[in-house]
Chains A and B, each alone.
Chain A
Amino acid sequence: MPVLGKERHFEILRQVLAMAEERRAISLDDAAGAVGVSAEQLKDLLDPVLFLAFRTGLGDLIEQSRSFLLTEDDEIVVDEHHWLRDLAAEPPSPDVALRLLVAGITMQSFATRGTPDLDTAVDKLTKIVGAHLDVSVPTPPALEAARESWARGRSLRFRYVRDIDDVASDREAVPYRVFCKWSHWYFQGRELGTDDLDAEPKVFRIDRMHDAHLGVVEFDPPPDAEIPDWFDLTRHELQVTLRMRPEQVDALPRASRVVERREVSEDQVEVDVVVTGERRLDHLLVTLDPDVEVVSPLDAGERQREHAAELLAAYP
């Protein structure tokens, strides 16, 4: 094996130490692959630091095996007192601190009990980052039951309002995973009561559930259920072109996205706005001020009038 420089040696040790601590344990092979050396090379590199020795003031030789431990099964582990990382006085880099801070603040926002250690850590990170951050995730009422369903491996019964048409129905599903992404909590799982056992798992938005409670069907969630990278909603995207005063752009509903903006005159702009689904298009159209001109598509104006008239019927 070529002799490694001190810096590269440290880099490998730091990375392996981090993996061994943060993942509780890692195999020699996996660790070697992660740092780009062979298992034998890694073993040689670790060997000098598996036991660290020093003499006390009285001259006694002390040997510590607390930095790494390589088990007989070639697993690298660290014990609970990982003094090397405990000693680090230097703060993390601002970029790392930013990531830690966002994660920490988010945790605080949905913690169900006091978090004194997290609170002090977040205070320290705020000083390192040098910027105030405010991040939170929502906690819809059905979240607790959904998380319990997942944690206990029991089905969840709930009443669910479909996004597409607001129709509500009673459902029961077994959980594959509960997660929060794009500021919404989701319950991913297989719906019970359908005959098709090979059907793809469904994803329910937890804020559209109510009366959620545990069912009686027991279930072992699959270990490989991953959070989807993205729900591909592009085929549901609809675009309208609007002509309005510049300050009216700011009042567009949150769920809309301005994809292009053109100056028409000193006090008029034309914007191309995208929404996902017909329901959101209807909502966008009925929130526009009456003086906003719906330029395209051609039938959007009529759609706006019809939807407004439909809603108006509730206000005699």
Chain B
Amino acid sequence: MAGAVQPAERILHLAAFAADRCADGATITLTDIVDGVGYPTDAERDAHGQLQSGTSDWETVRKMVQRDLRDLRTHWGIRLDYDEQEHSYRLAPPCFTPDERRVLLAAVATVSVQGAPDGEPGELGATLDDRRALVVLRLHHLVATLRTAIGERREVTFGLYGVMRRVQPYALGMWRNRWYLAGHDLDRATLRRYRLDRVDPGEPTIAVTGSGGAYEIPDDFDVDAAFDLDPNAWGQDPVLVARVRVGIDHVDAFRSELGGEVIERDGRRALVELDVRHHQSFRDRLLSFRGSAVVLEPPELVALVRDHLAALAGSR
């Protein structure tokens, strides 16, 4: 082992020593560290070779070790916790297991998250080249602000179509390429969802107000349900079973947009059956398929579509 070493080198020696000696949860003493890493000291020792506390040499080497432990934590995230009772150090468990770290790196290489604030150099996944990514997502610029507000449980205010909203934010989600906030609207006393790209611009666009810990997210808050934004899932209209004739080339796209099952099919057309819980949304999405999707049943939905088109066409 080298004699005089740079601080950086010594601190990494300390990490190697701790990794070797504490891997199974074992503890180490100050004397173990000083001898194992090779800290220079003339401090007195007892009959068992342990450093004797209270002397100035002991204090000097102890401070040196403390400083290195602090650096090890600050720069490398590696933590040796001191046990006052046992006068020994224990290696804190890692944040991520090697397997967890491996899959996270794979995730970062596969999913490029654009628009996220930059991390420190050397942070997990920061050096990955995402030009080969399979999936590219973009964070809305308000996500970072809202993430902080949710983490600190602080209320936010923002304008939506010119009306100020006071909200306790619960969760963020993305549905069909749009970011949404779910939260408790304080003025309407109910859970609401807000599309972030429809928030009025302002200075700031979203103001984080009040003190931290201002609320709790209810135990029964269901994040998956909150962002199931398909109107056919949350609609409150009387449920109707629709039968729609869909051109054979449009069946996949139709089912991707509106759901349903194919109950009949020939070479040119398919009959798709689905439950409808939001009548207007069904009508509007059906119309995006032009003449390739025509509702046949029930009469209520047929009338809804026909009457709407007739009104627009000016034929009634």
A32 within 8 A of B: no
Q: Among A55, A120, A311, A313, which residue has its beta carbon within 8 angstroms of that of B100? A: A120
For residue B149, give the distance in angstroms from its CB to the closest CB of chain A: 8
B122 within 8 A of A: yes
For residue A316, give the distance in angstroms from its CB to the closest CB of chain B: 9
Q: Are B312 and A305 in contact (CB under 8 A)?
A: yes
A residues 94-147 with Cβ under 8 Å of B? 94-96, 98-100, 102-104, 106-107, 110, 115, 117-118, 120-121, 124, 129-138, 140-142
Q: Are A305 and B313 in contact (CB under 8 A)?
A: yes
Complex formed: what's the CA distance from A183 to B173 in Å? 13
For residue A277, give the distance in angstroms from its CB to the closest CB of chain B: 12
Q: Among B71, B121, B127, which residue has its beta carbon within 8 angstroms of that of A11? A: B121
Complex contacts, B95 vs chain A, CB 8 Å = 88-92, 124
A226 within 8 A of B: yes
Interface window among B56-64, B202-210, B283-291: B283-291
Q: Are B124 and A314 in contact (CB under 8 A)?
A: no
A52 within 8 A of B: yes
Chain B binding surface, main DSSP class = helix
Complex contacts, B91 vs chain A, CB 8 Å = 87, 89
A residues 25-79 with Cβ under 8 Å of B? 34-35, 48-49, 52-57, 59, 61-62, 64, 67
Q: Are B76 and A226 in contact (CB under 8 A)?
A: no
Q: Are B6 and A48 in contact (CB under 8 A)?
A: yes
User: Contact string, B304-316, partner A, CB cutoff 8 A, digits 1/0?
Assistant: 0110111111110
Task: Knowing A52-B13, A121-B104, A134-B174 are in contact, say whether A102-B315 is a contact too (CB < 8 A).
Answer: no
Complex contacts, A251 vs chain B, CB 8 Å = 280, 284
Complex contacts, A84 vs chain B, CB 8 Å = 12, 15, 76, 78
Complex contacts, B220 vs chain A, CB 8 Å = none
Complex formed: what's the CA distance from A294 to B279 in Å? 24
A219 within 8 A of B: no
Complex formed: what's the CA distance from A310 to B290 in Å? 9
Q: Are A283 and B287 in contact (CB under 8 A)?
A: yes
Complex formed: what's the CA distance from A115 to B110 in Å? 15
Complex formed: what's the CA distance from A7 to B103 in Å? 29
Task: Knowing A100-B104, A100-B107, A137-B135 are in contact, say whether A283-B119 is a contact too (CB < 8 A).
Answer: no
Complex formed: what's the CA distance from A183 to B106 in Å? 20
For residue B275, give the distance in angstroms from its CB to the closest CB of chain A: 20
Q: Among A17, A89, A180, which residue has its beta carbon within 8 angstroms of that of B78? A: A89
Report the contact-size class of chain B (Cβ under 8 Å from the partner).
35 or more
Q: Work out how many contacts link A and B, with CB atoms closer than 8 A.
A: 351
Q: Are B104 and A118 in contact (CB under 8 A)?
A: yes
A274 within 8 A of B: no
A159 within 8 A of B: yes
Complex contacts, B309 vs chain A, CB 8 Å = 286, 308-309, 311-312, 315
B259 within 8 A of A: no
A15 within 8 A of B: yes
Q: Are B287 and A287 in contact (CB under 8 A)?
A: yes
A192 within 8 A of B: no
B125 within 8 A of A: yes
Q: Are B107 and A103 in contact (CB under 8 A)?
A: yes
Q: Are A98 and B147 in contact (CB under 8 A)?
A: yes
A235 within 8 A of B: no
Task: Knowing A85-B101, A86-B94, A132-B171 are in contact, say whether A96-B123 is a contact too (CB < 8 A).
Answer: yes
Task: Knowing A11-B122, A134-B226 are in contact, say whether A23-B172 is a contact too (CB < 8 A).
Answer: no
Cβ-closest chain B residue relative to A125: B104
Complex contacts, B227 vs chain A, CB 8 Å = 134
Q: A15-B127, A100-B108, A103-B107 are in contact. List 18 more A-B contacts (CB 8 A).
A: A52-B12, A57-B21, A57-B32, A87-B77, A94-B151, A95-B118, A96-B120, A103-B111, A103-B125, A106-B107, A118-B104, A121-B100, A134-B171, A134-B227, A135-B174, A183-B176, A209-B252, A315-B302
* 6 CB < 8 A contacts A-B: A88-B76, A121-B103, A129-B147, A283-B287, A286-B287, A315-B294
Lowest 10 CB-CB distances: which A-B pairs, in order?
A130-B151, A14-B122, A134-B173, A183-B177, A90-B77, A88-B77, A132-B171, A168-B249, A308-B312, A96-B119
